[in-house]
């Protein structure tokens, strides 16, 4: 199984934009859509190939409404995501999965404020500005752009890292 996470641009409501358009809605209709972070959509596909194919099908919308698209494949990493470009390179056998852990983009995960104490909704989480890091050993440098509750690690290609 592979998971896909789409991160919406700040100025759009990603769920609305994708589901209000017939072609995107038809591509997503068979998936259980979740929103693990504010303005994101996450779903599960059967494989890395299916995840990349879905992202390719949605490309027109992704270019217009998202800041990023990630894929998580447990056979590559249980906790780290792959950028869309890296997932495509692995699928196309251009990069070996075991050669993907050096270049990273680490997002902060910030807890959103709860409206009031009576509010029964749990605090939602929001992805905040990514930081580029290079893994040189078993650990990665700490996210230090701001105080965050946690981080989300995305493996990227060398060209994405240098861009």
In the chain, DSSP assigns E strands to 2-8, 40-45, 66-72, 81-83, 103-111, 125-134, 150-155
Question: What pTM does this model have?
Answer: 0.91
What pLDDT was estimated at residue 119? Answer: 55
Domain architecture of the chain: domains with CATH: 2-94 (3.30.70), 103-162 (no CATH)
Residue 137 banded pLDDT, cuts 50, 70, 90:
confident
Indicate the helix (H) or strand (E) that contains 53: helix 48-57
Per residue in 41-80, pLDDT (tens digit) is 999 999 999 999 999 999 999 999 999 999 999 999 999 9
Residue 141 banded pLDDT, cuts 50, 70, 90:
confident
Share of the chain above pLDDT 70, in %: 93
């Amino acid at each position: 199984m592979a998971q896909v996470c789409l991160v919406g641009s700040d100025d759009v409501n990603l769920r609305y934009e994708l589901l209000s358009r017939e072609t995107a809605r038809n591509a997503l209709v068979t998936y259980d859509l979740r929103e693990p972070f504010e303005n994101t959509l996450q779903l599960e596909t059967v494989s890395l190939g299916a995840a990349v194919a879905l992202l390719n099908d949605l490309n027109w919308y992704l270019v217009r409404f998202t800041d990023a698209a990630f894929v998580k494949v447990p056979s590559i990493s249980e906790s780290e995501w792959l950028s869309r470009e890296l997932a495509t390179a692995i699928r196309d056998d251009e990069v070996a999965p075991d050669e993907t852990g050096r270049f990273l983009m680490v997002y902060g995960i910030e807890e959103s404020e709860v409206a009031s104490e009576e509010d029964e909704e749990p605090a939602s989480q929001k992805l905040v500005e990514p930081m580029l890091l290079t893994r040189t050993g078993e650990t990665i440098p700490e996210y230090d752009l701001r105080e965050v509750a946690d981080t989300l690690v995305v493996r990227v290609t060398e060209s994405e890292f240098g861009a």
